[in-house]
Chain A
Amino acid sequence: MTHIHSDDVLRELVAGTIGSAQLREVQRRKDGGRFARVRALEQERVPWPDRIIVPLQEHLYVVEADPVPVVKCRCGVELGDYRCNWKEQALVYERDAQDGEVFVGPRGAPSEWVVLREFYCPGCAAQLDVEVVPIGYPFVHNFVPDLGTLAELEAAE
């Protein structure tokens, strides 16, 4: 099958190193079957052999595991059953936005309104998410992929 964009172009897209002219081209002319191609390119980038089922977000993947797929960071740390919220396995820091470290002057929200809840990977310390929430708000479970559609998506390739 001939693709509009080569693997080299998509490799740069996935790595985040794609140039602006090429990016405009990718934005303008969209090819189908992207899922399986990008997943294969993601597999090239990770230092572990586990098979990626779905890239979840920056740094995180749903990978094959027994008995159920798990969420795994690019650094290799596993963050639990993919159906559960990976944030439950992360490190958490509740930041008072007025602490002067990120926002200064009147730019940080008073903690009576909201705080910044930062989630770090316990392995590589990557900042995986920053929630803006009032104190006492449950963790937001951002995404549970429907893996029942995988066969169809893979066939689209």
Chain B
Amino acid sequence: MATLATRSVKKRLLEREELLRETGHYEASLDAKAEDPVRFEILFTKAMQATLNAREVARLVSASPVTRELGETVFGLYTPEGDAVCLSNGLMLHVRTISRMIKWMIRNDYEDRVGFRPGDFFFNNDPYIGGSHGPDQMIVCPIFHGDELIGWTGGLTHVVETGSVEPGGMGVASTSRFSEGLFLPCVRIAENDEVLHDLEVLVDRNVRESTSWLLDNRAKIAGSRMVRDRIVELADEFGRDYYLKAVHEYVEDSLVATRETVKRYLFPGVYREVAWRGFSVDDRALLLHAPLELTVTKDGGLILDWDGLSSAGQHPFQATLPCFEAILFNALIQYVFFDTRYNEGTFNVVELRVPEGSACNPPDIFHATAQWGPAYGGGVAASQALSRAYYAMGYREEVRASNAAVSGMTYGGLDQYGRPAGGWNMEFSASGSWAQGLHDGLDTSLAEFNAEGDMGDAEVWERTIPIVYLGRTIHRDGGGFGRHRGGSGIYSVYLVKNSSKLDVGSFGVAPIHSAPGLMGGYPSPVQYVCRLDGSNLRELIERQAPLPHGEGDDPAQPEVTRLVEGKLTTFLGGSAVPRPLAEYDLWIQTSGDGGGFGDPLERSPTLVARDLENGVTTVRAAKDVYGVIVAEEDHVPDLEATEERRRELRRARLARGIPAAEYKRRTRERLLERALPQHTREMFADVLGASAAFRARFTEFWDLPSDFEV
């Protein structure tokens, strides 16, 4: 029998997959754990500490505010076959995509055709191999102990400029991958721990500004070297054979623990949710459907079936399969498996069914994918469904509404130092979080993709981008209304300054409520961004007149419509192609807000009064949505008047609500009259054609012929 050292890594990968397929186990036994559980845990803790150290050091090496300030980076340790063993905090979703990259190289015979050697580092930003879009850039290195490959380590950062047609690599108008910038699929970028100069030249001449990319490369190489060298020390300390047995047992241990976690916390049954994404960009618009049927099985399995997903198309609001997997992995480890040893074993209890050709599994590698699209909505649907499973099982402390969709400003041109520039402002990493079943969401706190997110100091963004913040405020009434409200995101006002040439745009979603509420809560509002061309800001500043610093007291009439002159353009949904914006012109950016939980008429009047005092809700919403009447001068609630107002609002519900059967009869008429709006009709036409199951559900529900066409 061949020893481990003489077997190719590809053979080891295939054997491991076969073992899992045949037995349901990743490692045949947990002997190392059983023999000495303390030693077993010590090695794991030391290995994980290595990844945490790597992340912190990498942040200090990077020059990009996204990596340095916001912490958009992650490091992981992998088995020789490429399965995640442990990971740092940060951008955890990409632990899965880095695994995809390693396995892709192994499957494609890199061991023989390219070679894996000590001191090698490989780079990838091809999202069909691993990642979600060009800015997701990962570097991995093999870990050798003597002459044996004992594992891999690697890190990922979110790089702000990739040489795409629209600056920043997060374009909203791409019709194919070929306008999304420079992709380097699994390329060796360093040998003997030395960066290859010709690769740096290639990057330098293909992007608007290469500093972020190239210094982030050094950050990832520095972090990976730290992990690699530490793991070699640990293999010396614990013994190579023990190390190799243990890393596989960590994955198996997670697999077992994960199954038990599902059985303990989630009520078995079938759950259905739907999320929506899409876009409205110039004269193109599309609504995208992301329906989930989640089955929690009795034996602790999770089946996530996405039959009915919209089809892939010629736009960037869609995702590669590795991206979709990673988003779901991220949602599960943060939401269900947070107290287990999350790694590859975590995902092995999940059966993922994603239709081929759909917007989360495009039919070829040429589809643009910069905007993730329904994949991120898929995370929303999953968290909603899992919340219901927690609720039924009695774990009310884990119930939550959905997370915010994010929207960020993109720019390109010349910066304030006259240098070519491109990138985005990523303050949306501090969006509003979801309402929980027992408390409000947190304002300006996080984004689902990085629970440790940070908005970054305004002064740092001002140093990087030729803008001045006129204001950065909490988005009033941003979080979805409910017994507990969603967290509110950011409302920022940027003034263009010190640039002779700057294109400004934004990425976002469709003009929809993208973060739904749960169990009676309202969704978050529609996101939007605005540009103000030809402003009189210079004149206002010179005469020290009031300037727009935020939205103001009345969201219906934001300050930008009252305090400043110019041509105002609003982009509902927050997606706008970058176009020239002159000095002293304005850009208004909202990040994202979380969904609300429960009936808003059950919200504590005290909490409403507190929100009024803190300026995060309005008297209008208090009265019309929450039914809370407050004293004008100090916002103290009038409990008697509140009770009466709430009775009035409940009576209004009973008056306007119609029996479901009558509602269905009326809507059926509209369907038969073919009276659907364009975006809705196009969405249904696609989905009814793509999914026989959805067609059956649709026609049965509305009592329509099985061959009905919208």
Contacts and interface: CB of A to CB of B under 8 A. Distances in A.
A121 to B, nearest CB: 9
B570 A106 contact: yes
A97 B513 contact: yes
B131 to A, nearest CB: 29
A100 B398 CA distance: 33
A2 interface: no
Interface SS of chain A = mixed
Interface stretch (A20-28, A43-51, A63-71): A20-28
Nearest to B339: A30
Which of under 10, 10 to 19, 20 to 34, or 35 or more describes the interface residues of A?
A: 35 or more
A26 to B, nearest CB: 5
Given A130-B516, A145-B268, A149-B298, A88 B661 contact: yes
Interface residues of B, number: 87
A143 B388 CA distance: 8
Which one of B481, B521, B554, B598 has the greatest number of beta carbons of chain A within 10 Å? B598
Contacts of B676: 134-136
Interface in A84-114: 87-94, 97, 100-114
B480 to A, nearest CB: 9
Given A105-B555, A136-B676, A145-B392, A26 B397 contact: yes
Given A20-B439, A56-B392, A116-B513, A87 B267 contact: no
Contacts of B667: 135-136
A54 B519 contact: no
A53 B660 CA distance: 25
B223 interface: no
B702 to A, nearest CB: 7
A146 interface: yes
B355 interface: no
A93 B656 contact: yes
B671 A108 contact: no
A4 interface: no
Interface string B417-451: 00000000000000000000111000000000000
Contact of B269 (A35, A57, A103, A144): A144
Interface of B: 264-265, 267-274, 276, 278, 287, 296, 298, 339, 385, 388, 391-398, 437-439, 477, 481, 483, 510-513, 516-517, 519-523, 525-526, 528, 554-558, 570, 572, 598-602, 620, 624-625, 650-651, 653-654, 656-661, 663, 667, 670-671, 676-680, 683-684, 697-698, 701-702, 710
Given A142-B272, A146-B268, 19 more contacts: A16-B438, A23-B438, A30-B265, A54-B267, A56-B392, A57-B519, A97-B526, A100-B556, A101-B625, A103-B526, A107-B525, A112-B680, A113-B510, A114-B513, A116-B523, A135-B680, A140-B273, A142-B273, A145-B392
